[in-house]
Structure 1
Amino acid sequence: MTTPISDDDMRAGMATTKAYTAVILKAGPNFHSPEAAPVVWEHGRRNFALRAEGVLNIVCPVVDDTEVCGIGVLDADLETARTIIGEDPGVRAGIFTFTVHPVRSFPGDSLR
């Protein structure tokens, strides 16, 4: 059973949201190239650094057989996020492509 939430609860909660940018990472033209594996490793290292810096709040590799490779939430505006992801070694090597989307969420939320 779900916890009852009133309209007042909804209004109060919505007032606490903040702007973020969601990134959808997809397989690029060089995704299956023999040179991809070490570049993907460096992509992961960069994600770790962005997490440590508080820029990449959520990073979720996608583990199914679709073209989507990952989903991330950045604490950055749309243009800044586009620049950050555009500098990713996997994107620069054509292993990944991406789209960015303005989103809102609740500061302090976390995965459990």
Structure 2
Amino acid sequence: MSAIVTDEQIRALAATAKPYSLALLQWGPERGMDGADAIELEHQRRMVSLRESGVIAVLCPVGSDTLAGVAIMTVPAKDASEIMADDPCVQAGMMRCEVHPCQGFPGDALPG
């Protein structure tokens, strides 16, 4: 059941919105290439490092044959695109990345 939300609550929340970037990583044609496991491990190390440094606010690997993962990034879309272009899996053609500007609400978090 949904909670009843007032117009005032909507306006108050909307006023707190901040800009973020949404990175969508999709599996590419070279996903199964020789050496893919080692390249993917370096991708994972890099993504966790970006999370630890605060560049990625939310990191969500996806168990899908098409979508590899989603990251909400704290940098502008142009910067996020440049960061993701340097990703080992993206450079190897194992993944493709789309980056979209988005808005989010500081303090939102995944439940523990």
When the two structures are superposed, what TM-score results if normalisation uses the length of structure 1? 0.94
Question: Counterpart in 1 of 2:86?
Answer: 87
The CA deviation at 1:28 is 1.4
Partner residue in 2 for 1:23 = 23
Q: Which amino acid aligns with 2:96?
A: T
Q: Select between 95-104 and 1-10 the one with higher mean Cα deviation.
A: 1-10
Q: Shift in Å at residue 34 of structure 1? A: 2.2
Residue aligned with 1:4, SS = coil
Amino acid across the alignment from 1:45: R
The list of structure 1 runs, each at least 4 consecutive aligned residues, that deviate by more than 6 angstroms after superposition, is none
Equivalent residues in 2 for 1:96-107, closer than 5 Å:
96-107=95-106
- Cα deviations across residues 27-60 of structure 1 (Å, max 9, x unaligned)? 1121111211100001000011101100111111
**Structure 1, unaligned stretches of length 5 or more?**
none
For residue 32 of structure 1, give the secondary structure of its aligned residue in structure 2. Answer: coil
**Once the 2 structures are TM-superposed, how far is the Cα of residue 2 of structure 1 from its aligned partner?**
2.5
For 1:88 and 1:34, locate their aligned partners in 2 and report how far apart those are by CA, in whole Å.
17
Q: Which runs of 5+ in 2 are unaligned?
A: none
Measured in 1, the distance between the counterparts of 2:72 and 2:36 equals 24
Q: For 1:81 and 1:43, how far apart are their aligned partners in 2?
A: 15
Distance 1:52 1:73 in 2: 13
What CA distance in whole angstroms lies between the structure 2 residues aligned with 1:36 and 1:61?
A: 17
Q: Give the TM-score normalised by structure 2.
A: 0.94
Query: Between Structure 1 and Structure 2, how many residues are aligned?
Result: 111
Secondary structure class of the residue paired with 2:54: coil
